[in-house]
């Protein structure tokens, strides 16, 4: 324990906050890190090309992982510099096989190497169907496509993903959160939104028909306000999926880039948590649009963390990340972005919530205001450094040296 931490601990104690308890709690919060930051959302299928579906990673920084082994090496490095035990969020297009199965042909075997790796490293797995970057998604219509043959193709893909995910959960003894995001929508104003939404609902129902043990797999559905190429109508809008998740008992996934830029996604946590049992987050940083910038330790992230802690919903919210930036070191993006989420959580765990709540409940908004602002001077950085120290990962200058060292290694590829 450092002198700086002792001083910080005493300062927080003055405010009635127990820093050791905050560190102990933070150790138990897994973050589901997304595999797709490591290779610019390209994946390892042999037969497909660009990402499509309105998703776009821009930049050509050297060092992109081109194979499952390179991606796993980069992940090992990243997890080694992120304090705590975490999860990996895989996408179906990250299959690891010499075969060329189409999306409706994938099986567990195509992903078995990921489970071997997960068992070796202690990282648990989450999963996503890949409903984009495929010729059958070129119209930006998949599960809501008017052609039943195309819908069936994607339904089969979704079913197979759920089976694979359930096996992940079984092998790793941890429920695999399986998310569905489809790009479906229209560039220009459709005349029959209802028909498209009915088709999406029916396809989801068919996909989810086979019940899985929630100890192994849980379904989540992800909404979006709009995307590139589907400006006029997104079939899976927020209202659509909120209703669907409530009706069918799935998790609701809230992506911070999928709402109007002035909407607070943090505000939606307590609002939706009253209606759905569990939430999935895609923590992201939209800049003017769903640009998926690497998350900073900024107010939008802090507010998300505050709401998770204040609403006491951490144990039923799965924190996933969704950003990709190909203009900077991809491993640095993972490490710094994931640590930012943890830092925000730590700051939230260090707030004098009793005092703030007491002030609010007695209409003493002056105290709420004064305390909120004054505690911004408390040395949360010393508590973070102590946490990193206890978890055996670097911080500050030594972290930067590590990130630089590894990045130059990836540039030798
Ligand atoms: C797209 C969604 C979705 C994807 C990933 C790759 O707008 O946010 O979550 O980013 O599935
Ligand atoms: Zn997302």
> Ligand 1: which residue has its CA nearest to atom 2?
181
By percentage, how much of the chain surpasses pLDDT 90? 96
Closest CA to 328 of 393, 404, 397: 404
21-39 tens-digit pLDDT: 999 999 999 999 999 999 9
Q: Which atom of ligand 1 is nearest to the CA of 322?
A: 10
Q: What does pTM read for this prediction?
A: 0.97
| Average pLDDT over the chain, rounded to an integer | 97
pLDDT of res. 71 = 98
**How far apart, in whole angstroms, are the C-alpha atoms of residue 203 and residue 331?**
37
Asked if residue 358 is part of any domain, the answer here is no
Residue written as token pair 């010393």: 382
Q: Which atom of ligand 1 is nearest to the CA of 222?
A: 9
Q: Which atom of ligand 1 is nearest to the CA of 257?
A: 8
216-264 tens-digit pLDDT: 999 999 999 999 999 999 999 999 999 999 999 999 999 999 999 999 9
**Residues with catalytic function:** 181, 222, 224, 255, 258, 282, 290, 292, 322
Using the predicted structure, report yes or no on whether residue 55 has a pLDDT greater than 90.
no
Predicted confidence band of residue 49 (pLDDT cuts 50, 70, 90): low
pLDDT of res. 106 = 98
> Ligand 1: which residue has its CA nearest to atom 1?
55
Q: Do you know the residue count of the chain? A: 413
Asked if residue 398 is part of any domain, the answer here is no
Using the predicted structure, report yes or no on whether residue 157 has a pLDDT greater than 90.
yes
pLDDT of res. 46 = 81
Mean pLDDT (whole number) for 288-307: 97
Mean pLDDT (whole number) for 350-371: 98
Nearest ligand to the CA of 228 is 1
Asked if residue 397 is part of any domain, the answer here is no
Mean pLDDT (whole number) for 304-321: 98
- Give helix 68-80 / helix 112-121 axis angle, nearest 10°: 20
> Using an 8 Å Cβ cutoff, are 1 and 9 in contact?
no
Mean pLDDT (whole number) for 183-188: 98
Query: What is the phi-psi region of residue 41: left when phi exceeds 0, alpha when psi lies from -120 to 50, beta otherwise?
Result: left
Q: Tell me, in angstroms, the distance from the centre of ligand 1 to residue 361's CA.
A: 39
The full DSSP string for 100-115 is ---GGG--GGGGHHHH
For residue 180, give the 3-state DSSP assignment: strand
385-403 tens-digit pLDDT: 999 999 999 999 999 999 9
The beta strands (E) that lie in 84-164 are given as 87-91, 124-128
Asked if residue 49 is part of any domain, the answer here is yes
pLDDT of res. 51 = 66
pLDDT of res. 50 = 59
By percentage, how much of the chain surpasses pLDDT 70? 99
> Ligand 1: which residue has its CA nearest to atom 10?
322
Predicted confidence band of residue 182 (pLDDT cuts 50, 70, 90): very high
Q: Provide the CATH number for the domain around residue 129.
A: 3.20.20.150
118-148 tens-digit pLDDT: 999 999 999 999 999 999 999 999 999 999 9
Mean pLDDT (whole number) for 51-58: 82
Q: Tell me, in angstroms, the distance from the centre of ligand 2 to residue 294's CA.
A: 13
- What is the number of structural domains in the chain? 1
Mean pLDDT (whole number) for 13-24: 98
Asked if residue 172 is part of any domain, the answer here is yes
Residues with Cβ within 8 Å of residue 75, at least 6 apart in sequence: 33, 35, 38, 88, 123, 334
**How far apart, in whole angstroms, are the C-alpha atoms of residue 119 and residue 116?**
5
For residue 17, give the 3-state DSSP assignment: coil
Choosing from 37, 51, 181, 184 the residue with most ligand 1 atoms within 8 A of its CB, the one to mutate for a pocket test is 181
Q: Tell me, in angstroms, the distance from the centre of ligand 1 to residue 24's CA.
A: 32
Using the predicted structure, report yes or no on whether residue 1 has a pLDDT greater than 80.
no
Q: Which atom of ligand 1 is nearest to the CA of 36?
A: 6
Asked if residue 238 is part of any domain, the answer here is yes
Asked if residue 250 is part of any domain, the answer here is yes
Q: Tell me, in angstroms, the distance from the centre of ligand 1 to residue 8's CA.
A: 39
Using the predicted structure, report yes or no on whether residue 48 has a pLDDT greater than 90.
no
Q: What is the DSSP letter of 185?
A: E
Neighbour tally for 272: CB within 10 Å: 17
Asked if residue 266 is part of any domain, the answer here is yes
Closest CA to 177 of 30, 51, 324: 30
pLDDT of res. 73 = 98
Domain with 209 in it: 29-349
With a Cβ cut-off of 6 Å, ligand 1 is lined by 36, 41, 55, 91, 128, 181, 222, 224, 255, 282, 290, 322
> Ligand 1: which residue has its CA nearest to atom 11?
181
């Amino acid at each position: 324990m450092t002198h700086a931490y002792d001083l910080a601990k005493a300062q927080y104690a003055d405010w009635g906050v127990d820093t050791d308890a905050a560190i102990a709690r933070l150790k138990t919060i897994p973050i589901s890190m997304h595999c797709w930051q490591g290779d610019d959302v390209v994946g390892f299928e042999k037969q497909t090309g660009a990402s499509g579906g309105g998703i776009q990673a821009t930049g050509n920084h050297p060092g992109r992982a081109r194979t499952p082994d390179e991606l796993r090496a980069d992940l090992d490095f990243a997890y080694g510099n992120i304090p705590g035990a975490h999860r990996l969020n895989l996408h179906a297009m990250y299959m690891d096989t010499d075969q060329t199965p189409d999306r409706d042909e994938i099986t567990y075997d195509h992903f078995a190497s990921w489970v071997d790796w997960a068992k070796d490293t202690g990282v648990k797995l989450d999963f996503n169907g890949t409903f984009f970057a495929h010729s059958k998604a070129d119209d930006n219509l998949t599960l809501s496509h008017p052609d039943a043959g195309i819908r069936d193709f994607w339904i089969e893909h979704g079913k197979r993903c759920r089976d694979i995910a359930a096996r992940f959960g079984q092998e790793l003894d941890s429920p695999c959160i399986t998310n569905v995001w489809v790009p479906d929508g229209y560039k220009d104003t459709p005349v029959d939104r209802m028909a498209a939404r009915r088709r999406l609902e029916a396809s989801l129902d068919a996909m989810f028909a086979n019940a899985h043990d929630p100890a192994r797999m849980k379904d989540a559905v992800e909404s979006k306000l709009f995307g590139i190429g589907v400006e006029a109508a997104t079939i899976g809008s927020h209202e659509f999926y909120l209703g669907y998740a409530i009706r069918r008992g799935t998790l609701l996934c809230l992506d911070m880039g999928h709402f109007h830029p002035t909407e607070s996604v943090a505000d939606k946590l307590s609002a939706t948590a009253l209606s759905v049992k569990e939430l999935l987050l895609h923590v992201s940083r939209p800049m003017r649009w769903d640009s998926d910038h690497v998350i900073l330790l900024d107010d939008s992230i802090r507010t998300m963390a505050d709401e998770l802690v204040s609403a006491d919903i951490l144990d039923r919210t799965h924190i996933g990340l969704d950003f990709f930036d190909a203009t900077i070191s991809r491993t640095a993006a993972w490490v710094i972005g994931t640590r930012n989420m943890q830092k925000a959580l730590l700051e939230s765990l260090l707030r004098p919530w009793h005092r703030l709540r007491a002030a609010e409940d007695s209409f003493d908004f002056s105290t709420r205001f004064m305390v909120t602002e004054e505690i911004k001077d408390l040395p949360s950085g010393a508590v973070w450094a102590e946490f990193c120290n206890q978890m055996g990962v670097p911080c500050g200058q030594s972290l930067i040296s590590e990130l630089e060292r590894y990045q130059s290694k990836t540039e030798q590829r």
